[in-house]
Amino acid sequence: MTMNIPLRREDVSDMTGVRTSPGAVSKGATRVEIGLSAAIVSVCRDEPMIMCVPTNVDGALVDVLPSGPFSPTEHRTLDTGLRTWVAEQTDLDLGYVEQLYTFGDRGRHAQPFDQTPHTVSIGYLALTRQPLESDDAQDGAVWKSWYDFFPWEDWRQGKPALLTDEIEPRLNEWCERVDTEINPYRTSSRKQRVRVAFGIDGGAWDEERVLDRYELLYEAGLIEEARRDGREAALTWGPVPRFGTAMQFDHRRILATGIGRLRGKLKYRPVVFEMMRDEFTLFELQKTVEAILGPHLHKQNFRRLVESAGLVEPTGDVRAKTGGRPAKLYRFRREVLLERPAPGVRVKPGRA
Amino acid sequence: MTMNIPLRREDVSDMTGVRTSPGAVSKGATRVEIGLSAAIVSVCRDEPMIMCVPTNVDGALVDVLPSGPFSPTEHRTLDTGLRTWVAEQTDLDLGYVEQLYTFGDRGRHAQPFDQTPHTVSIGYLALTRQPLESDDAQDGAVWKSWYDFFPWEDWRQGKPALLTDEIEPRLNEWCERVDTEINPYRTSSRKQRVRVAFGIDGGAWDEERVLDRYELLYEAGLIEEARRDGREAALTWGPVPRFGTAMQFDHRRILATGIGRLRGKLKYRPVVFEMMRDEFTLFELQKTVEAILGPHLHKQNFRRLVESAGLVEPTGDVRAKTGGRPAKLYRFRREVLLERPAPGVRVKPGRA
DNA sequence: GAATTAATGCTCAAATCGAGCATTATGAAA
DNA sequence: TTTCATAATGCTCGATTTGAGCATTAATTC
């Protein structure tokens, strides 16, 4: 966990031993560009969707997240910068927005390694209501299922065969492979990381570890982006297996971060409602949660939970044509945000 | 929650409606400097401490977090950049490090508003073991109690009088004040934000909302940094009440973010152990948790929780001279990280 | 009008949680 | 030595909170 960095001793201390402005950032430091990207999530017909702007790169269409550079002269804050770019590229006026992470690794952004100026990439998660069918393809932006990019995360039908048949064997091979390389003692580390992230032998699948899994697949060279970035591990696999659709730059990494964060946050903050229409049935709510989290929830317990937590209140209306008895309609009780410290749909997997 | 940003329509779409590189960040975008700062936390004698580098600014000593500019040519990642600066300024070789947030607001960084180049500030949280008494003042860096900077967060002796006597009245005044200003309809918004963040009338104090509270105090001009930054609200208070010690730039904001994050994370990840020595008694562990979270925990239940979760194992030794019966010594069971998805000291306040 | 399909209501046992009492092992005081 | 104060540790018990399943109700469909 610890890392040793060669020290550069060039600090300016005065005679008293008190440093003069160690935090002053202004003496000729390198400047970098900042990229802002948004993983915009919605759920449409029980499918978690993310907003993409397919873009022509060298003649091929590549999926890109709505994004653009931060311009301190034009954007008052990072947040407004992001909203501006998203509005331009997708015509969406974002509501809920949350910063995810700032990535700064060299070589994970530009295609030609280190050819462009260094970019630091700030990823955001945004949630929107279910898009109407009509305004589906506005301005070149499209909604895509997030499982297009992460098929191994789709446990709605149980464990995906892709994991057992394709991914796990290759990851195991990659774990063994270290022996022949430089650090034999790191084998166990790789093995353990894979074990924890993918819940291999004994471990449970933790639906929140989306980024861990993506990063391991990247490191193992099993992801198109790894080959694109010139990762050596990627060259050892012959024809690269394409697990999921690739994205430009580090956008799939940002998306992985967003999915993981959303899956976690759902459990302790009432963020699902950012993706629901004003009125909904409890089953629709459950389906939305399940689209994001994966496993099936126990229906009766789910409604007990949601109702007893005071997250919703009935509107008085009902929705007919459900295929059975009509369902009561509910709305989100915004007041809970003021009442309890951390209300959320704290769910655990159950049976149907 | 929604924000309307004036659109700038200057994007480059080709004839097919497919955009050409909306995510390409390289066409002459403004570059900025990136500041890396670390809130390094430890607990010493039941007091949560953070590492400061007091710095001479215009003749006065100001508290500064270990920090420095990110240099993409010298630092392979943001993370290594941070570790390098910390090692230089404090001689600490950091273990646990976690990114907190990236702040980009104009006017929150430089003292003379907008005089220096624009800086985006990335804050980190780092945890270290209890520092020995001896190496206390290494190289000009010192440990300070984090409650020096956030006295209103110190609920270890019950609700601080500072809140009831000083802060709440002024915040209430600030809430009312809006009527006389531009947006009358925002009154309720201010009131509600204050109500939720500070748990006024009926609401519970949520120990995790450290940043919310700091930001409100800043907005209300009740914080020295607000005056420094030229916030107009700060000018209306006559002699500014100094609630807690100020820090340079946005460092107190980063610290607030770190405290909030740590208080939250403690409950679902075993991060306390990053601050414990190899061997410790369960009561020492509890004291450390309480130093960070505040309220007293029920001793017997705490140990039941920690033991039954498999977070610790006895070493076999005991510590004498506890003032009573000798206490068994325990060590952290690192294996839990591999076993359960999200083990943590999920505590709820109780009685002594 | 019977079968089918959901929505909704209700029960019950297991697990967890919050509190408090009881017991044990030291060092210090009498 | 004995007694006392102080912690550490063990254990119990009722109140909730969960996990799971059965039962009932109200539409749609055949």
Mean pLDDT of the A314-318 span: 92
| Strand D contact at CB of residue B296, distance < 7 A | no
Distance CA B23, CA B33 (A): 21
Please state, as a whole number, how many other Cβ atoms lie within 10 Å of the Cβ of residue A271: 20
Q: Which residues, 6 or more positions from A235, have their beta carbon under 8 angstroms from its beta carbon? A: A221, A227
Distance CA A153, CA A294 (A): 8
Report pLDDT for A336: 84
Q: Could you give phi then psi for residue B253, rounded to 5 degrees?
A: -65, -40
Buried/exposed code over B332-343 (b: 16+ C-beta within 10 A; e: otherwise): bbeebeeebeeb
The pair of three-digit structure tokens given for residue A218, joined into one six-digit string:
């990247």
| Strand D contact at CB of residue B300, distance < 7 A | yes
Name the residue with the least CA to C1' distance from nucleotide C4: A324
pLDDT surpassing 80 at residue B107: no
Mean pLDDT of the B80-85 span: 96
Per-residue model confidence as pLDDT tens digits over B8-51: 222 222 233 333 444 444 444 678 899 999 999 999 988 999 99
pLDDT surpassing 90 at residue B258: yes
Distance CA B161, CA B166 (A): 8
Range in A176-185, B86-95, B202-211 the model is least confident about: A176-185
Mutate to test the interface with A, among B2, B4, B5 (most CBs of A within 10 A): B5
State whether residue B32 sits within 8 Å of chain A by CB. Answer: yes
Name the residue with the least CA to C1' distance from nucleotide C23: B325
User: End-to-end alpha-carbon separation of chain A, Å?
Assistant: 41
Distance CA A243, CA A170 (A): 12
Per-residue model confidence as pLDDT tens digits over A76-109: 899 999 999 999 999 899 999 999 999 997 766 5
Residue B216 and residue B193 in contact, taking contact as beta carbons nearer than 8 Å: yes
> Which residues, in sequence order, are bridge partners of residue B314?
B330
Closest CA to A34 of A76, A87, A86, A81: A81
Mean pLDDT of the B277-302 span: 92
Q: Which nucleotide is nearest to A329 (CA to C1')?
A: C7
Are A116 and B17 within 8 A, CB to CB?
A: no
User: B132 exposed, middle or buried (CB, 10 Å; 0-12, 13-18, 19+)?
Assistant: exposed
pLDDT class for A130, splitting at 50, 70, 90? confident
pLDDT class for A7, splitting at 50, 70, 90? very low
Mean pLDDT of the A178-191 span: 61
pLDDT surpassing 90 at residue B130: no
Candidate from B14, B33, B79 with C-beta closest to A31: B33
**Contact positions of strand D to protein Cβ (< 7 A):** 5-12, 18-22, 25-28
Range in A80-89, A102-111, A307-316, B260-269 the model is least confident about: A102-111
Are B64 and A22 within 8 A, CB to CB?
A: yes
Minimum Cα–Cα distance from B82: chain A residue: A5
Report pLDDT for B216: 96
pLDDT class for B143, splitting at 50, 70, 90? very high
Minimum Cα–Cα distance from B35: chain A residue: A25
Per-residue model confidence as pLDDT tens digits over A13-46: 223 333 344 444 444 467 889 999 999 999 998 8
DSSP A131: P
Distance CA B250, CA B35 (A): 11
pLDDT class for B140, splitting at 50, 70, 90? confident
pLDDT surpassing 80 at residue B257: yes
Confidence (pTM): 0.87
Mutate to test the interface with B, among A1, A2, A5 (most CBs of B within 10 A): A5
A335 alpha carbon, distance to own chain's centre:
28
Report pLDDT for A211: 97
Q: Could you give phi then psi for residue A110, rounded to 5 degrees?
A: -90, 150
Report pLDDT for B15: 30
Residues listed for chain B: 352
Long-range contacts of B209-213 (CB under 8 A, 24+ apart): B209/A341, B209/B260, B210/B150, B210/B153, B210/B256, B210/B257, B210/B259, B210/B260, B210/B263, B211/B253, B211/B256, B211/B257, B211/B260, B213/B152, B213/B153, B213/B256
The pair of three-digit structure tokens given for residue A4, joined into one six-digit string:
């040793």
Mean pLDDT of the B60-87 span: 93
pLDDT class for B161, splitting at 50, 70, 90? very high
Instruction: Tell me which of B137 and A331 has the higher pLDDT.
Output: A331
CA–CA min distance A307, chain B (Å): 21
Are A102 and B102 within 8 A, CB to CB?
A: yes
Distance CA A239, CA B24 (A): 28
Report pLDDT for A223: 92
CA–CA min distance B111, chain A (Å): 11
pLDDT surpassing 80 at residue B285: yes
Mean pLDDT of the B79-104 span: 95
Per-residue model confidence as pLDDT tens digits over B290-347: 999 987 889 999 999 999 989 999 999 998 887 888 999 999 998 887 766 555 565 5
Distance CA B238, CA B1 (A): 33
Name the residue with the least CA to C1' distance from nucleotide D24: A325
| Strand C contact at CB of residue A319, distance < 7 A | no
Q: Which residues, 6 or more positions from B257, have their beta carbon under 8 angstroms from its beta carbon? A: B39, B100, B101, B123, B125, B210, B211
Are B93 and A2 within 8 A, CB to CB?
A: yes
Report pLDDT for A344: 58
Are A18 and B89 within 8 A, CB to CB?
A: no
DSSP B193: H
DSSP B204: P
Candidate from A4, A77, A105 with C-beta closest to B104: A77
pLDDT surpassing 90 at residue B144: yes
Q: Which residues, 6 or more positions from B254, have their beta carbon under 8 angstroms from its beta carbon? A: B37, B39, B65, B100, B101, B103, B121, B123
How many Å does it take to go from CA A235 to C1' C13?
56
Q: What mean pLDDT is reported for chain B?
A: 82
Count of CB contacts below 8 A, A vs B?
Answer: 263
Are A61 and B18 within 8 A, CB to CB?
A: yes
Report pLDDT for A20: 40
Range in B6-20, B66-80, B159-173 the model is least confident about: B6-20
The pair of three-digit structure tokens given for residue A141, joined into one six-digit string:
């932006």
How many Å does it take to go from CA B301 to C1' D13?
14
State whether residue B344 sits within 8 Å of chain A by CB. Answer: no
How many Å does it take to go from CA B315 to C1' D9?
16
Distance CA A127, CA A44 (A): 12
A61 alpha carbon, distance to own chain's centre:
22
DSSP A117: P
Closest CA to B233 of B221, B216, B224, B215: B221
Instruction: Tell me which of B298 and A132 has the higher pLDDT.
Output: B298
pLDDT class for B263, splitting at 50, 70, 90? very high
Are B34 and A204 within 8 A, CB to CB?
A: no
Are B25 and A77 within 8 A, CB to CB?
A: no
Q: What percentage of chain B has pLDDT greater than the value 70?
A: 79
Residues on chain B touching A249 (C-beta within 8 angstroms) = 23
Residue A226 and residue A244 in contact, taking contact as beta carbons nearer than 8 Å: no
Residue A252 and residue A273 in contact, taking contact as beta carbons nearer than 8 Å: no
Concatenated DSSP letters for B138-162? Answer: -TT-EEEEGGGT-GGG--BTBS-HI
Q: Which residues, 6 or more positions from B216, have their beta carbon under 8 angstroms from its beta carbon? A: B171, B193, B194, B197, B198
Report pLDDT for B291: 93
User: A325 exposed, middle or buried (CB, 10 Å; 0-12, 13-18, 19+)?
Assistant: exposed
Report pLDDT for A188: 57
DSSP B334: T
Q: Which residues 65-84 of B are in CB contact (within 8 Å) with A?
A: 65-74, 76-81, 83-84
